Amino acid sequence: MSSPAKRRDMDVMKLMMSDYSVETINDGLNEFNVVFHGPKESPYEGGVWKVRVELPDAYPYKSPSIGFVNKIFHPNVDELSGSVCLDVINQSWSPMFDLLNIFEVFLPQLLLYPNPSDPLNGDAASLMMKDKKQYEQKVKEYCDRYAKKDDIVNSKEEEESDDEDVSDGQCTSSDDETPGLDP
Alpha-carbon dihedral sign for residues 95, 101, 105, 106: positive
Q: Which residues contact 10 (CB under 8 A, 6 or more apart)?
A: 2
Phi-psi region of 179 (alpha: psi -120 to 50; beta: other; left: phi over 0): beta
85 is catalytic: yes
In the set 77, 85, 86, 125, the catalytic residue is 85
CA distance 47 to 137: 13
50's CB contacts (< 8 A; 6+ apart) are: 33, 34, 35, 36, 68, 69, 70, 151, 152, 155, 159
Rounded (5°) CA angle 63-100-62: 10
Which residues are identified as catalytic? 85
